[in-house]
């Protein structure tokens, strides 16, 4: 059994296979230090924590993760909080940086005797229709090689070899560019509020998400095509202050910006997630925009479904689980996509008016694209107003926000 990629999907799956006594090797393009320091997700849903606990993979996050159950919305006029731990299903998140989860999963896999090859890049998966699919790779020294197994799990992310190797016409691709871009930032600064902060502002979205006691993730909606290094640290903090309403609601604790990257929000789902003996999990098969923090959670869920299905196929000789795998995953994926899109529409200024000073919105010329932008802005503010007061809306939100 060959697993491509040592992200959350690949490492959860590899651990589950090993636990069942299934021989597997993980092929990872990057080196160990890289995957153990790659900061991405942080919010793990209750269902994800339960999966990890079920398989003895949650010791680290139970020790160092922080339970989190509140988010705060801010506009130019007001702010309100939702304590989602008391709404909907009453579930919470555990905040645990993705790189720490990856470190835990890797350590557990290696200490149980798992095999992983770092610096090995899969270039193509061949013969997925046959009994022995083959993975062609480039070794760290540049030489090419071939690995064969009974199944290949493509957990190598959206730019990986698994997705590229699907024969043309074998899957429907549903893709959307949400036409919103974020400047994603990691600041060496303690969180400034004890909640996830979402600022819905005329100049664009700003977000605040705790990571650890000393590191905070911030997001700023920026115009498409903005180079990541075009904003100075000072301009970033000034803009965050403005959009988050620091003057009215309290200052943000500033610190060095240690990482910055522009993310164009996109979603990209393949259907089905299986082609013969090649199975896709995580971002490789279903990319979701980070607007609702679902990607790593879906990756873990899919890995569990796949681990179980592969166990049935390899140990008990039944492919029923593998046959149902794609449809089962996609049901979860589309629920998450729907909510993530809802969040995008709630949080962001329409893309074509981003950056316009609020004062240039002239009520005498609300026609064409400008009129549409004003209309969409009014809709999202109305949506936010309902969320602020309607208990039913809040229950619905909480269930979707923390659920899978
Ligand atoms: P990963 O984590 O991308 O891992 C794929 C692994 O495959 C390797 N690889 C290859 N190996 C061999 N051969 C090849 N040809 C290969 N090509 C790639 C890569 O080196 C890598 O190690 O995919 P996986 O496992 O599917 O996990 C998905 C998650 O990483 C992703 O969905 C989340 O990070 C998304 N996400 C968030 N998700 C959440 O659930 N909660 C969050 O709070 C959250 N915040 C975020 C996020 C994603 C972000 N970015 C990247 C846009 C915040 C950000 C900024």
- Nearest ligand 1 atom to the CA of 35 is 22
Q: In sequence order, what are the beta bridge partners of 68?
A: 93
CATH number at 340 reads: 3.50.50.60
The protein residue with its alpha carbon nearest to ligand 1, atom 1, reads: 7
Is 45 touching ligand 1 by the criterion CB < 6 Å? no
Q: Which helix or strand (DSSP H or E) is residue 172 part of?
A: strand 172-188
For residue 164, count CB atoms less than 10 angstroms from its CB and return exposed for 0-12, middle for 13-18, buried for 19 or more: middle
Sorted by sequence, the CB contacts under 8 Å of residue 331 that are 6+ apart come out as none
Whether 30 lines ligand 1, by a CB cut-off of 6 Å, is yes
Could you read off the pLDDT of 207-252 as tens digits, one per residue? 999 989 999 999 999 999 999 999 999 999 999 999 999 999 999 9
Q: Could you tell me the CA-to-CA distances from 277 to 129, 154, 164, 314 in Å, in that order? A: 6, 10, 15, 12
Which residue's C-alpha comes closest to atom 51 of ligand 1? 40
Q: Taking the mean position of all CA atoms in its chain, how far away is CA 192?
A: 23
Residue 304 belongs to some domain of the structure: yes
β-bridge pairing 43-45 and 93-95: antiparallel
Domain tally, the chain? 1
Residue 4 CB–ligand 1 contact under 6 Å: yes
Q: Determine the pLDDT at residue 127.
A: 97
Is position 88 within any domain? no
Q: Does some domain include residue 243?
A: no
Tokens linked to 149: 């197994």
Is the preceding omega at residue 172 within 30 degrees of 0, hence cis? Answer: no
**pTM across the whole model:** 0.95
Q: Which atom of ligand 1 is nearest to the CA of 102?
A: 2
Q: Contact 190/182 with Cβ under 8 angstroms?
A: no
| Ligand 1 mutation pick, 296, 302, 305, max ligand atoms within 8 A of CB | 296
**Looking at ligand 1, which atom is closest to the CA of residue 209?**
43
Evaluate: CB of 29 within 6 angstroms of ligand 1.
yes
Beta bridge partners, 186, equal 217, 259
Which pair of structure tokens corresponds to residue 252? 């943000």
pLDDT at 355: 46
Note whether residue 380 is domain-resident.
Answer: yes
pLDDT bin (cut points 50, 70, 90) of residue 381 is very high
**Per-residue confidence band for 367, with pLDDT thresholds at 50, 70 and 90:** low
Residue 144 tokens read as 């090419």
Distances (CA, A) of 32 to 8, 27, 130, 142: 14, 12, 32, 18
- Span 123-151, average pLDDT: 97
- Name the 3-class secondary structure at 173: strand
Q: Give a yes or no: residue 189 inside a domain.
A: no
Q: 7 CB under 6 A from ligand 1?
A: yes
Q: State the Cα–Cα distance between residues 15 and 334, nearest whole angstrom.
A: 26
CA of 143 to the centre of ligand 1 (A): 26
Residue 79 lies inside a defined structural domain of this protein: no
Domain that holds residue 328: 1-67+97-177+268-404
């Amino acid at each position: 059994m060959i697993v491509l990629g040592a992200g959350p999907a690949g490492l959860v799956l590899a651990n589950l296979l090993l636990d069942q006594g299934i021989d597997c090797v993980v092929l990872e393009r990057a080196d160990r230090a890289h995957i153990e320091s790659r900061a991405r997700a942080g919010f793990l849903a209750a269902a994800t924590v339960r999966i990890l606990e079920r398989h003895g993979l949650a010791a680290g996050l139970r020790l160092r993760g922080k339970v989190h159950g509140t988010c705060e919305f801010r506009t130019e006029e007001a702010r309100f909080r939702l304590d989602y731990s008391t709404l909907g299903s009453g579930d919470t998140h555990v905040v645990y940086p993705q790189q720490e989860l990856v470190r835990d999963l890797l350590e557990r896999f290696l200490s149980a005797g798992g095999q992983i090859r770092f610096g090995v890049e899969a270039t193509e998966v061949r013969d997925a229709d046959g009994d022995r699919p083959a993975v062609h790779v480039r070794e760290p020294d540049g030489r090419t090689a071939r690995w064969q197994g009974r199944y290949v799990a493509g957990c190598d992310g959206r730019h990986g070899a698994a997705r590229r190797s699907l024969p043309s016409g074998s899957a429907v691709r549903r893709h959307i560019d949400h036409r919103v871009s974020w400047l994603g930032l990691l600041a060496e600064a303690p969180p400034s509020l004890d909640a996830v902060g979402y600022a819905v502002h005329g100049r664009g979205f700003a977000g605040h998400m705790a990571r650890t006691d000393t590191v905070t993730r911030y997001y700023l909606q920026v115009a498409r095509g903005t180079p990541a290094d075009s904003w100075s640290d000072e301009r970033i903090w000034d803009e965050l202050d403005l959009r988050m309403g620091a003057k009215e609601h309290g200052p943000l604790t500033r610190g060095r910006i240690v990482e910055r990257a522009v993310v164009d929000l996109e979603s990209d789902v393949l259907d089905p997630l299986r082609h013969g003996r090649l199975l896709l999990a995580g971002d490789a098969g279903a990319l979701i925009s980070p607007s609702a923090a679902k990607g790593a959670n879906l990756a873990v869920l899919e890995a569990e479904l796949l681990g179980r299905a592969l166990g049935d196929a390899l140990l008990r000789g039944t492919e029923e689980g593998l046959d149902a795998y794609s449809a089962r995953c996609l049901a979860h994926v589309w629920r998450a996509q729907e909510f993530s899109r809802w969040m995008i529409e709630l949080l962001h200024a329409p893309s074509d008016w981003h950056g316009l000073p609020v004062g240039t919105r002239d009520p005498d010329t609300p026609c064409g694209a400008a009129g549409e932008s004003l209309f969409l802005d009014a809709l999202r503010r109305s949506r936010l107003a309902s969320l602020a007061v309607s208990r039913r809306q809040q229950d619905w939100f909480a269930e979707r926000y923390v659920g899978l």
